[in-house]
Structure 1
Amino acid sequence: MSLRRYRFVLSRPLQLLPVLFGISLTTFVMVRSIPGDPARILLGSRSTPDALVKIRTQYGLDQSLWQQYLYFLKNLFNGELGQSLLYKIDTLKLISTRIEPTLLLVSGSVMLALLIALPLAILAARNQGGWLDRLIRLLSTAGLGMPAFWLGIMLILLFSVQCGLFPVSGYGRTWLEKLHHLVLPCLTVALALSSLLIRNLRASLIDEMQAEHIAAARARGLDERVIFRRHVLPNALIPTVNLLAVNVGWLISGTVVIESLFAIPGVGQLLVRGIFTRDYMVVQGVTMVLACSTVAVNFLADLLTVAIDPRVKVQ
């Protein structure tokens, strides 16, 4: 790797810091715009004027918004996310107990989507214009129009209620039970994601197969399978990797819906509950963790793009 690429590796995370700052500010403003008083929701029917004042003072809710934001930034620089109003524990520790299901759901969905998209895109590209190509394009277009929650409900009705193959909801205790519970949620997300990847990868493969350097390789007498494996597929994967990285934010937001639908105790479900209970610290903490994850995945995608094709110019 050249010196310029080393500089890219070191400087790229610094370029993403303003993005994280903007996300923190936007999240803080939006969560404070939710109607309702967190102290009153926390106390419920036991709320009295003195108790409300005590709760607001304890969690700094009686301070001005800019003071609360500065306190939030101070906690971030110290590696803290404050204390949850509802759970009465450190927010970062609370999120760490919920991160495993979400990581398994996201990683499982991505792997399953790639297992679906790669062979179908290759089949469609190698049979361009044929009935198989048209069928795959039709299925991918239909997949793009299916809402994730509707698709999840249909899968539950078919594979859980009718066939009894998978649990309706929950997460399980052992690793085998967890994987068994995550099959339908991962499939729900993967079907929607693979539809997008199929169309993109098919178009990239077709463009690459028509490139001049591929024609030159054929003229040299190289085997068609060797040309496809060594030249066509690696180059066609670059736009797909970038597309997958760009859609990580969509993928994470989709897991919020899926976790609620399948009752998976991940950070998405924690975020939804934090919004309904006006637990500011939890909402801000989960949002920042998800934002950092998205930024990290995009950074890894940049590195992978450079590794796949050394000709890619980096700034």
Structure 2
Amino acid sequence: MVLGIKARPEQIADIHHRLGLDQPIGKQFTSFIATLLTTGDTGQSIAYNVSSRALVLDRLPVSLWLICCSAILVVAISLPLAMTAAMHKGSWVDQLVRIVPTITLGMPEFWVGLVFVLLFAVTFKIFPVGGTQPGIDGMLYSMALPSLTIALAQTPFIVRSLRTRILEVLGADFVVTLHAAHLPERVIRRHVLRNALLPALQLYGMKISFLVGGTLVVEQVFGLKGVGSLLFGAITARDFPLIQAIAIYCALGVVLISVIVEIAGGLIDYRVRGRAEHASAGGMA
């Protein structure tokens, strides 16, 4: 691939030696891992002939913007819908909240993105067709449609899980006690939501993990120069070192998100924090 179809055998042997491909596979793997852990280097891109790490880091900010905006929109949409559905169980409001998000679940993200582009960018000219604009305001403006596209695909899972958990908490004894004490409804809702958040938070963390590797299609539809479009180009060019680097950094992102979710779960639910402190004390003992 690097030398072309007319490469001579000695040229192929030379590049095999320079890339370490003439070594046993076990040695190649240990050498790669050792280099990754000591220097963070993930190899040289075949298509771009530069460090794959530099390429990923250059495209990473756009993808992070997209993931963060999508994650915020998922929360902003899911929490009110789930709470409204649970507080009006069995009513037409509950049925509507349960049905409408499910409709978006069956729509491919690329199709939803194209519809948004046609409606809000081409027809009404409210948002840009694609690409990014400079500055924080410009970036938020550019991320509105792509992040909403991703959020609508993830919202149904969170709404369903959170609604079920809220209904379970509403039937708990402490909620009956709160009602008997004639506390304001907003105070009761705050207590209910806090006790219902942990399972939904764990699912939320998993869905954000999917977002890390799932922005490929959306970035292509909206012309965003992020890691997803970089991965698409690397797959097309069969640039295996670059594909490998993107996979590694996405895996690290998933691990980081999992840790953040665990910490957030401890802050929300004192029982999780108590178990963690107990486990820490037991380890020290």
Whether TM exceeds 0.5 here: the answer is yes
Alpha-carbon contact 2:35-2:41 (below 8 Å) kept: yes
Could you tell me which of 225, 238, 242 is aligned with 1:265? 225
TM-score by length of 1: 0.81
Alpha-carbon contact 1:106-1:186 (below 8 Å) kept: yes
Structure 2 CA distance, aligned partners of 1:280 and 1:80?
Answer: 15
Q: 1:58 to 1:261 in 2, by over 3 A?
A: farther
Shift of 1:80: 1.9
After TM superposition, list the pairs within 5 Å mapping 1:179-198 onto structure 2: 179-198=140-159
Alpha-carbon contact 1:274-1:282 (below 8 Å) kept: yes
Letter paired with 1:235? N
Could you tell me which of 61, 75, 81 is aligned with 1:100? 61
Q: 1:213 to 1:151 in 2, by over 3 A?
A: same
The unaligned stretches of length 5 or more in structure 2 are 280-285
Alpha-carbon contact 1:80-1:92 (below 8 Å) kept: yes
The unaligned stretches of length 5 or more in structure 1 are 1-39
Shift of 1:45: 5.9
Alpha-carbon contact 2:130-2:222 (below 8 Å) kept: yes
Q: 1:55 to 1:262 in 2, by over 3 A?
A: farther
Q: Structure 1 runs of 4+ off > 6 angstroms?
A: none
Percent same amino acid at aligned positions? Answer: 36
Say whether 1:58 aligns with 2:27.
no
Letter paired with 2:155? S
Q: 1:71 to 1:295 in 2, by over 3 A?
A: same
**Other-structure match for 1:159:** 120
Shift of 1:57: 2.8
**Other-structure match for 1:28:** none
Structure 2 CA distance, aligned partners of 1:95 and 1:203?
Answer: 40
Letter paired with 1:306? G
Could you tell me which of 62, 75, 92 is aligned with 1:114? 75
After TM superposition, list the pairs within 5 Å mapping 1:234-249 onto structure 2: 234-249=194-209
**Other-structure match for 2:35:** 75
Shift of 1:130: 0.9
Alpha-carbon contact 1:238-1:308 (below 8 Å) kept: yes
Structure 1 CA distance, aligned partners of 2:10 and 2:149?
Answer: 48
Q: 1:61 to 1:162 in 2, by over 3 A?
A: farther
**Other-structure match for 2:86:** 125
Relative contact order, CA 8 A, sep 6+: which one is greater? 1
**Other-structure match for 2:283:** none
Letter paired with 2:198? I
Report the count of equivalent residues.
Answer: 274
Q: Secondary structure at the match of 2:214?
A: helix
Structure 2 CA distance, aligned partners of 1:76 and 1:301?
Answer: 26
Q: Over residues 126-172 of structure 1, what are the superposed CA-to-partner deviations in whole Å (9 max), with x where a residue is unaligned?
A: 11111111111111211221221121111112112222222222223
